[in-house]
DNA sequence: CCGGGTGCGTTTAGGGTGTAAAGGCCTCGG
DNA sequence: CCGAGGCCTTTACACCCTAAACGCACCCGG
């Protein structure tokens, strides 16, 4: 769009300048932007975490259960997951799962943890900052975004589920990443207080943006899955909302990539300003 | 995601002390900051959205059902709500509800809508900007925050549930507020594009921040509700995280009010800058 | 006055869910 | 060879959502 100031601090930005700008005419919303580098389909390295052995082997263990649950939720959505279905998926009776998983709630915790742990397998995200703190934040944000887009049905759980360390405000799932974050900042000029402030601002921005993005994506996907949604049906009671009607082209445009980039950059700039004071 | 706040029928009550309220000590501070103006207990005026007739009258209608559901979720948490329980609450069999509510999912939509509609009853939030656009944004943000804090167990639904107009990106629940937002900005110097950009940035900031805040609040409340949480248990595997341990005082401090204020102000400044270019 | 709708709540029923408890099978170590 | 676990299945219970049929009380036109 317009003003596009990258952080001058680090020319080796992991993400090239977003210059998609081109939009499919007719206001049609195609959620799969082929230029979005965080979309799973556009990822180069085939990082298939789930080693789907097609024949339902007889070896049952917690990891296999949880990863099957992840795949099942990815495919059918969270509400469809039940112990019985998951058992069937594994060629086993529901009760067998209870030898490895104490309860359904616990299973969901495991699902969240496993998905969050995909960050460790992401070659573009470093646990330790190698090219400065702002590069670190950029990479981490895109890594988390990749996870969100890869598991849109699971990501809301990350935000909703009670966290591991309740006394961390705001709480995030992975203590290891909190530690990594704080370390990256405190070793790069941030005071303790500044690092904590930065952590709060960063995590709430990231969560909010991705949750919204995933929600709208889920809707689009649901619409495909469940094609009773007449496209004109949503336009029904729009009589009283002239501005929404007028701005429909802009509103229905998928600017999530650009908006994400811009907000992230702004946040980082804000943190940089904080550093100078 | 448990809630413990009563419906604000009687705001004159000071901090509500739960009967089983053995206060859990430990690192978690008291989440009820008596200086936070958005907390329901610190609110002055009476916002009696829920007309709760104490005796279970025989008149059944959709509004009464939904508002009872809101109260029930506020008190017992979302997972405890079932048609049977809600029926019992209303002195009626579960199936009776189906004359007014097509299904449970629909009921939850109604719950979200009712909670969002509390904005209209908020005397401090104007549908039209009276003191400039930035005052409008401030008031709106605090109004939404008040709702989130009044219904911590319900607010995650607002973010999670598929929206009314899927083609609005990002989608928010209330078309009326989207319209109001766009109107406020476009009549105060914003171009159409700028207004849409502002809408995106604003809504994702607000959602992210409040979701995080409500989640951490829910945790603290859960700890009271369900006192199996040994305060030392959270400190279990903290051996490998020296920074978290060192920054524990800062991290466990409840800075949500200040952080909210600061982020909101920063966002508004950013929008103001956009206006000048 | 009456008799049939009509609105509203209840009963019944069927399939689904989480999970506690007990029962079978099969493979090991002594 | 035999007992002991480990691993999975069976059974059972309580609860869930909801479709369908049923009663009951009212109202309203004849």
pLDDT at residue B129 in the model: 92
Mind listing the pLDDT tens digit for each residue in B264-274?
A: 999 999 999 98
Nucleotide C17 C1' to residue B1 CA (A): 21
Mind listing the pLDDT tens digit for each residue in A205-239?
A: 998 889 888 887 765 555 444 444 444 445 556 77
Asked whether strand C has any atom less than 7 Å from the CB of A241, the reply is no
Nucleotides of D under 7 A from a protein CB: 7-11, 15-21
DSSP string covering A59-122: ---HHHHHHHHHHHHHHH-GGG--HHHHHHHTTS-GGGGGGT-S-HHHHHHHHHHHHHHGGGG-
Task: State the pTM of this model.
Answer: 0.81
DSSP string covering chain B: ----PPPTT-TT--SPPPTT-----SSPPPS--TT-TTSGGG--S----S---SS--S---HHHHHHHHHHHHHHH-GGG--HHHHHHHTTS-GGGGGGT-S-HHHHHHHHHHHHHHGGGG-TT--SS-SS-HHHHHHHHHHHHHHHHHH-TTTHHHHHHS--S-TTSSS--S-HHHHHHHHHHHHTTT--HHHHHHHHHHHHHHHHHHHHHHHHHHHHHHHHHHSTT--TTGGGTT-TT-HHHHHTHHHHHS--HHHHHHHHHHHHHHHHHHHHH-
Nucleotide with minimal C1' distance from the CA of A84 is C17
- Provide mean pLDDT across the span A110-137: 93
Whether B219 has a pLDDT exceeding 60, the answer reads no
Mind listing the pLDDT tens digit for each residue in A125-181?
A: 999 899 999 999 999 999 999 999 999 999 998 877 766 655 555 556 778 888 999
Asked whether strand C has any atom less than 7 Å from the CB of B92, the reply is yes
Q: How many angstroms separate the CA atoms of B143 and B155, rounded?
A: 13
For chain A, the straight-line distance linking the first and the last C-alpha, in angstroms and rounded, comes to 31
Number of other residues whose CB lies within 10 A of the CB of residue B128: 9
Residue B167 to residue A254, Cβ atoms within 8 A: no
Nucleotide with minimal C1' distance from the CA of A97 is D8
Q: Which of B108, B233, B251 to probe by mutation at the A interface, max A CB count within 10 Å?
A: B251
Asked whether strand C has any atom less than 7 Å from the CB of B249, the reply is no
Buried b (16+ CB within 10 A) or exposed e, B161-199: bebbbbbbbbbbbbbbbbbbbbbbbbeeebebebbbbbb
Size of interface A-B (CB pairs under 8 A): 205
Mind listing the pLDDT tens digit for each residue in B126-157?
A: 988 999 999 999 999 999 999 999 999 999 98
- Provide mean pLDDT across the span B104-113: 94
Point out the residue among A175, A213, A252 whose CB comes nearest to the CB of B168.
Answer: A252
Please tell me the distance in Å from A1's CA to the nearest CA on chain B. 10
Please tell me the distance in Å from A201's CA to the nearest CA on chain B. 7
Point out the residue among B183, B197, B203 whose CB comes nearest to the CB of A243.
Answer: B183
């Amino acid at each position: 769009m317009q003003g596009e100031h990258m952080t001058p601090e680090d020319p080796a930005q992991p993400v090239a300048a977003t210059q998609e700008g081109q939009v499919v005419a007719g206001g049609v919303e195609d959620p799969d932007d082929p230029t979005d580098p965080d979309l799973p389909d556009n990822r180069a390295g085939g990082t298939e975490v789930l080693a789907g052995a097609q024949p339902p082997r007889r070896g049952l263990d917690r990891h296999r259960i949880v990863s099957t649950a992840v795949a099942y939720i990815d495919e059918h959505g969270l509400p469809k997951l039940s112990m019985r279905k998951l058992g069937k998926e594994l060629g086993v009776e529901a009760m067998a799962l209870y030898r490895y998983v104490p309860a359904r709630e616990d299973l969901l915790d495991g699902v969240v943890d496993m998905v969050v742990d995909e960050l460790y397998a992401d070659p573009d995200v470093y646990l330790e900052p190698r090219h400065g703190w702002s590069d670190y934040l950029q990479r981490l944000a895109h890594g988390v975004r990749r996870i969100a887009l890869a598991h849109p049905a699971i990501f809301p759980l990350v935000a909703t589920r009670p966290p591991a360390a309740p006394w961390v405000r705001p709480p995030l799932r992975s203590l290891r990443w909190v530690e990594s974050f704080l370390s990256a900042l405190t070793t790069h000029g941030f005071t303790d207080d500044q690092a904590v402030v930065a952590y709060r601002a960063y995590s709430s921005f990231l969560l909010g943006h991705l949750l919204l993005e995933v929600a709208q994506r889920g809707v689009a996907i649901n619409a495909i899955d469940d094609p009773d949604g007449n496209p004109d049906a949503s336009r029904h009671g729009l009589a009283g909302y002239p501005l929404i009607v007028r701005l429909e082209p802009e509103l229905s445009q998928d600017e999530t990539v650009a908006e994400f980039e811009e907000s992230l950059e702004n946040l980082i700039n804000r943190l940089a300003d904080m550093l100078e004071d």
